[in-house]
Amino acid sequence: MSISTPVLMDSQKAAKYLAAISGIRIMVIGDLMVDEFIWGKVNRISPEAPVPVVSVTKQSLAPGGAANVVNNIRSLGGQVKVAGVVGDDAMGEWLINALKKSGADPVAVLADKGRKTTLKTRVVAHSQQVVRIDREDLEPLSKGLKADLVQQIKNHIDDCDAIIIEDYSKGVIQEDVLDEIQTLTSDKKKLVLVDPKVFYPKQFRGMNILTPNHHEAGAFAGIPVTNEESLMKVGRQLLDVLTGSSLLITRGEEGMSLFEANGDITHIPTQAREVFDVSGAGDTVIATMACVMAAGGSMKEASILANYAAGIVVGKVGVATCSPQEIIRILEGRL
């Protein structure tokens, strides 16, 4: 076992991996949603309650949740197939069209008449989020819908180099669905990355890497992560449970910590210089990890580049993505 903090990534090696992403094919399976942004200005406090009055200047929609992972992969140049469920409603239709417009292929996106598409509305004033309003259906998928989803995944999994499982606890990622994915991916020796919201230790075993944040990892282990000592306990405990899988714990301003299945532990300091909005940073991390690993990079190299990518997106307002050119510029000190 070794514990290390990596040096800066060589920009030429990074450029090689980033250039190779254009030939990478990834399937994203998970909770699809829409992010709505209401932008405005605050000039006064409401006389009705001690809350700001936001004068709206514009509104916008963006793919969110697992769909934001898709956008991040597309921004890096990768090809994407999408699997998940939306409501049979206007927002679901908008999201499917937005995925197609981005160049992604929603081969396994099913419309369910019994649920509504998850919509997260963020009110932003002067670059600061004032409030978020969630409209969603958290019921698990029906047995029939799950069977249809799994069949569509089976139909297209051979065309993919890597799989991302993106769980937001909106009903798509469940134990039986994971059982099916585990069987499919282990038989075909597929690269699998998981951003977990709920911990399924049996189903996650053998998947390449999980990318929880430190709050989630602490909850999974039953040990709050409050310092380096508790972080190490959590990481090692989860590795013991996740036989054969590695773990990348994202830690906000503290950066990331990579616990590999071989026992190596690597702490990666944050590269964020200015933080405006952390929304979707975890989506950027797992998208970059999958792209770089599928392009031939090691888990450490992928983690380092994912850290740079996350540092770029948190410096932007709203749920954002980054390009290979931005990563290269920051590696060369030009961003």
Q: What would the pLDDT profile of 61-98 be if each residue is shown by its tens digit?
A: 999 999 999 999 999 999 999 999 999 999 999 999 99
The answer to whether residue 273 scores a pLDDT higher than 70 is no
Which whole-number Å values give the CA distances from 289 to 19, 34, 259, 310, in the listed order?
14, 23, 14, 11
Please report, in angstroms and rounded to a whole number, the separation of the first and last CA atoms in the chain. Answer: 35
pLDDT tens by residue, 218-228: 999 999 999 99
* Cα–Cα dist 67/83, whole Å: 10
Give dist(CA 141, CA 31) in Å, integer: 11
Q: What is the pLDDT of residues 51-66, one digit of tens each?
A: 999 999 999 999 999 9
Catalytic member of 31, 167, 277, 283: 283
Instruction: Please state the separation of Cα 38 from the chain's center in Å.
Output: 23
CA distance 180 to 161: 18
Q: How crowded is residue 132: how many other Cβ atoms within 10 Å of its Cβ?
A: 13
Alpha-carbon distance 152 to 83, whole Å?
A: 8
Whether the full predicted model's pTM is greater than 0.85, yes or no, is yes
Rounded CA gap, 318 and 320, in Å?
6
- The confidence score (pLDDT) of residue 317 equals 64
Q: Which residues pair with 119 in a beta bridge?
A: 34, 135
Verify whether residue 264 is a known catalytic residue.
Answer: no
Residues 6+ apart with CB under 8 A from 128: none
Which band of pLDDT confidence, cut at 50, 70 and 90, is reported for residue 281? confident
Residue 285 makes CB contacts below 8 A (sequence gap 6+) with 211, 248, 250, 256, 306, 307, 309, 310
Helix (H) or strand (E) holding 125: strand 118-125
Q: Assign domain 3-34+64-118+136-331 to a CATH class.
A: alpha beta
Q: What are phi and psi of 191, to 5 degrees?
A: -70, 125
Check whether 318 has a pLDDT greater than 70: no
C-alpha torsion sign, points 309, 73, 158, 247: positive
Other beta carbons within 10 angstroms of residue 202's beta carbon come to 11
pLDDT of 279 reads 61
Question: Per the structure block, which two tokens stand in for 238?
Answer: 């989860």
Cα–Cα distance measured from residue 43 to residue 53, given in angstroms and rounded to the nearest whole number: 7
